[in-house]
């Protein structure tokens, strides 16, 4: 059985969504981010990214990780590419060319979008969105996203999905990276193709199922 390490309020949400899309039976092992705990190594601390038990799974001390049989993997976007290829179906590439496009767009999301998107979401997570420094961070991140979002907006002109004629792992991966920026409504109002596309992605039952479970997790520890 597939084991997913990580809480839903983390990048593990991407893997949980993917598992829902594929209809996989899985075991969830909640692993908290150590930064959310005052003393992650205390005797009474819950399982977290600094716990020796988890370090034995992922020495980089980051979530998510998975165990699938004898295979252990890290890096959420790569995990989803693996799961799509492993289980096949419409979320995976149907040809070598499609598989290449799904990989290309996933790497694009990781390299061109996520570094800026993460700064936005962390600003909100730390309650700094109304501070002078927080507003400056958000503004700089939004400016840095202009070119990648313009590229995606153009790509989606006349298209419903990223590659092929269906929802794939590339749509899921990019949508989850862009979710970190959805507090900035002006970004999406300025890119109507992206706005309509992400609404399609997030209307899927598997996404809603993931978010329902995520919503039950405590924000504060």
pLDDT of residue 132: 97
pLDDT of residue 176: 98
57 class by beta-carbon count within 10 Å (0-12 exposed, 13-18 middle, 19+ buried): buried
pLDDT of residue 58: 98
Query: Over the stretch 55-99, which tens digit does the pLDDT of each residue have?
Result: 999 999 999 999 999 999 999 999 999 999 999 999 999 999 999
Q: What is the mean pLDDT of the chain?
A: 97
Query: Over the stretch 176-218, which tens digit does the pLDDT of each residue have?
Result: 999 999 999 999 999 999 999 999 999 999 999 999 999 999 8
pLDDT tops 90 at residue 116: yes
pLDDT of residue 164: 87
pLDDT of residue 201: 98
pLDDT tops 90 at residue 136: yes
Q: Do residues 35 and 107 share a domain?
A: no
pLDDT tops 80 at residue 40: yes
Q: Do residues 104 and 196 share a domain?
A: yes
Nearest to 174 by CA among 89, 112, 217: 112
pLDDT of residue 220: 75
Q: Locate 82 and state its tokens.
A: 């693996």
Q: How many domains does the structure of the chain reveal?
A: 2
Last residue of a domain, one of 25, 57, 90: 90
Res. 126 pLDDT band, cuts 50 70 90: very high
22 class by beta-carbon count within 10 Å (0-12 exposed, 13-18 middle, 19+ buried): buried
pLDDT of residue 219: 83
Task: Give the whole-angstrom CA distance, residue 70 versus residue 73.
Answer: 10
Give mean pLDDT, residues 124-149.
Answer: 97
pTM summary value: 0.96
Q: What is the DSSP pairing of strand 2-5 with strand 26-29?
A: parallel
In a domain? residue 218? no
Domain with 10, as residue range(s), is: 2-90
Last residue of a domain, one of 90, 124, 148: 90
Report the CATH number that the domain containing residue 16 is assigned in CATH.
Answer: 3.40.30.10
Asked if 2 and 161 touch (Cβ cutoff 8 Å), the reply is no
């Amino acid at each position: 059985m597939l084991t997913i390490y990580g809480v839903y309020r983390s990048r593990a949400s991407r893997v949980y969504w993917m598992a829902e899309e594929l209809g996989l039976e899985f075991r969830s092992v909640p692993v908290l981010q150590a930064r959310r705990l005052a003393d992650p190594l205390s005797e009474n601390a819950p399982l977290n990214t600094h716990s020796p038990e988890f370090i034995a799974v992922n020495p980089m001390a980051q979530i998510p990780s998975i165990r699938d049989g004898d295979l252990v993997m890290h890096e959420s976007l790569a995990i989803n590419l693996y799961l799509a290829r492993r289980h096949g179906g419409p979320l995976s590439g149907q040809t070598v060319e499609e598989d290449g496009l799904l990989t290309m767009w996933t790497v694009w999301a990781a390299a061109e979008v996520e570094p800026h998107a993460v700064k936005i979401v962390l600003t909100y997570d730390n309650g700094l969105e109304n501070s002078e420094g927080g507003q400056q961070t958000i503004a700089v991140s939004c400016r840095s996203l202009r070119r990648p979002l313009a590229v995606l907006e153009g790509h989606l002109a006349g298209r419903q999905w990223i590659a092929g004629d269906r929802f794939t792992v590339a749509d899921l991966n990019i949508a989850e990276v862009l979710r970190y920026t959805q507090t900035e409504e002006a970004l999406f109002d300025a890119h109507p193709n992206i706005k309509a596309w992400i609404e399609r992605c997030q209307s899927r039952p598997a996404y809603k199922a993931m978010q329902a479970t995520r919503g039950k997790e405590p924000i504060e520890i």
